[in-house]
Amino acid sequence: MIKQGLFKLFLLILGLQISHTLAGQVGNNESILNPNLASVEKLAAVQGISADLGEAIKENRPFLDMLAFDRFLTGTLDDDQRKEVYKHVFVPLNLNTASREEILLVPNLGNKMAHEFEEYRPYVKLAQFRREMGKYVDDNEVARLEQFVFVPIELNTASKEDILSIPGVGNRMLHEFEEYRPYRSMEQWRREIGKYVDEKELARLERYVYLKTE
């Protein structure tokens, strides 16, 4: 009986860990640097990015989509160099608004899978992306693709896990997101959150959120 009880407890803990891993609207991208947040040291450790380029990336961020980042690197790095960098440094794609051009910046992604990204819009949950892409590729490839994408969260209904999945958001900012609910306009959100961050950070955060309108 004791062994059975311990086994059930193990399954419960495992289930909670899996649920936590799958929670949130931003893909698990711990192995991919976000150029809007990464330190110069980490950026400069990527092949193709010099210390000077790392400093320039920091100076010019935030990049509000991957196309903006790609334009910034064009002229400094050639096509092949940029493709190699994007395996390690990437601005997450908004699954509901990214253009075909932007989607094709995902490393090793062709037109067929880019079409599938677009086919199932609008995405409401990241789990939906996992399920739909899983029709075409195996679990390992779904996990790889997930590193490059996110689904925006709805400001008034998002869970704590959803909010905390936004890159760079910790418990302090989670509290501020929840403090001013219900939001009646995006302007209200900008005004309230703008008390705590500068305009650049506000613009970066806004990429990940939306407000449902009646």
Summarize pLDDT for 20-63 with one digit per residue, the tens.
Answer: 333 458 766 678 999 999 999 999 999 999 999 999 999 999 99
Q: Which residue has the higher pLDDT, 3 or 127?
A: 127
How many CB atoms are located within 10 Å of the residue 112 CB?
8
- Encoded amino acid at 102, one letter: E
Give the integer Cα–Cα distance in Å for 102 and 131.
22
Confidence at residue 24, expressed as pLDDT on a 0 to 100 scale: 56
By percentage, how much of the chain surpasses pLDDT 70?
Answer: 87
Q: What is the pTM of this model?
A: 0.86
Listed by start position, the domains of the chain span 40-150, 153-210
Closest CA to 39 of 20, 58, 56: 58
Confidence at residue 16, expressed as pLDDT on a 0 to 100 scale: 34
By percentage, how much of the chain surpasses pLDDT 90?
Answer: 84
Indicate if the pLDDT at residue 214 is higher than 60.
no
